[in-house]
Amino acid sequence: MSREQILKLDPLIHVPARLAILSILVTIEDANFSFLKEAIGTTDGNLSVHLAKLETNGFITIQKSFQGKKPKTTCAITKKGRKAFIEYLEQMEQIISVKKT
């Protein structure tokens, strides 16, 4: 595996918090902000920044609504996000399957 192949890993996904977000969203239909925050163990501000980056790049959708008087933010992975995530995993599999010669 060449250095160039390793460097082709999508930097948008490779950030641990965003990798965690996509790992969760790829397995479920959607998740609310509180669930993601607790699952990842991050702050509100940190999670918001990572969600915004994923949304800006078309990897997730974010729906904002109210449940009673409380705001509710729900996130879901898009087809583009799912495809990028799968490609990322395939690249990681290639990297870890390389044997030393």
Can you give the residue ranges of every domain in the chain?
A: 13-94
Which H or E element spans position 62?
strand 60-67
Find how far residue 91's CA is from the centre of its chain. 16
Number of H helices, E strands in the chain: 6, 3
Radius of gyration (C-alpha) of the chain in whole angstroms: 15
pLDDT score at 42: 96
Dist. CA 35–CA 64, nearest whole Å: 15
pLDDT band for position 1 (cuts 50, 70, 90):
low
In this structure, of 25-29, 31-35, 57-61, 66-70, the range with the lowest mean pLDDT score is 66-70
- What count of other Cβ atoms lies within 10 Å of the Cβ of residue 19? 19
Q: Is the per-residue pLDDT at 6 higher than 70?
A: no
CATH topology of domain 13-94: Arc Repressor Mutant, subunit A (1.10.10)
